[in-house]
Every structure is written in structure tokens, then in C-alpha cells.
């Protein structure tokens, strides 16, 4: 399985409502993108200063499945319309596991 992990740090000006909109939009993606095998979205619980704010962990059968997700119009829309305007920093990695 190919895993895709993303960490997001929101800008200081982002509201709780905007954060919820990002979370809700991400959590809706498995219903429309059938190559997603597992998907988890969660807020940092605040145990360590300096952590990112939100984590996304997705599983795919292979790199083709990941690329399908990455380029899917619903995912592209969430990234373009909700994530990019609200995020100060992003980290990502894909790995086999």
C-alpha cells in the first residue's frame, strides 16, 4: 500500500469555521474518489508546541491510485479553494507501508 501523509499549518488569520470547512471537505473526498483505500483527517491535539495543525493520512493500492487522487477534480478543488488560501506551511511524504 502507498501512504500519503500531509501536515498543514494554518495561517494565524484562519477562523475555526475555515478550519472546519477544510476538514469537512477533506473528509468528504473518499465518497467521491474510489481509489482511496483508507483516509484519516485530524487536528493536532496540542500536546507539543510547534506542531502542525492538521494531518491527513491516505492509503492507496499503488502510485497510480495516489496520482488519480492527487489529480482528481474534487481533490484539486479542495486544495485550490480551501487549503491554499488558509495554509502557511505544508509538509508531505508518500511511502510504501
Residue 20 — φ and ψ, nearest 5°?
A: -65, -40
In CATH terms, the fold of domain 2-96 is: Alpha-Beta Plaits (3.30.70)
Q: Whole-model pTM? A: 0.94
Q: Where are the domains of the chain?
A: 2-96
Query: Residue 7: its pLDDT value, please?
Result: 98
Over 90: is that where the pLDDT of 52 sits? yes
Q: What is the C-alpha separation between 8 and 93, in angstroms, rounded?
A: 12
The residue behind cell 500536546 is 47
Kindly report, residue by residue over 5-34, the tens digit of the pLDDT: 999 999 999 999 999 999 999 999 999 999
Q: Of all residues in the chain, what percent carry a pLDDT higher than 70?
A: 100
Of 67, 61, 56, 71, the closest CA to residue 2 belongs to 61
Query: Residue 97: its pLDDT value, please?
Result: 85
For residue 43, the cross-strand partners are 54
The overall average pLDDT reported for the chain is 97
Amino acid at each position: 500500500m502507498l501512504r500519503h501523509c500531509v501536515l498543514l499549518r494554518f495561517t494565524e488569520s484562519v477562523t475555526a469555521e475555515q478550519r472546519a470547512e477544510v476538514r469537512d471537505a477533506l473528509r468528504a473526498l473518499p465518497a467521491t474518489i474510489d481509489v482511496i483505500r483508507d483516509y484519516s483527517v485530524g487536528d493536532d491535539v496540542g500536546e507539543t508546541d510547534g506542531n502542525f495543525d492538521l494531518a491527513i493520512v491516505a492509503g492507496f493500492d499503488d502510485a497510480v491510485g495516489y496520482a488519480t487522487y492527487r489529480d482528481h477534480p474534487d481533490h484539486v478543488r479542495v486544495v485550490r479553494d480551501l487549503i491554499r488560501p488558509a495554509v502557511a506551511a505544508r509538509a508531505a511524504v508518500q511511502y510504501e507501508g
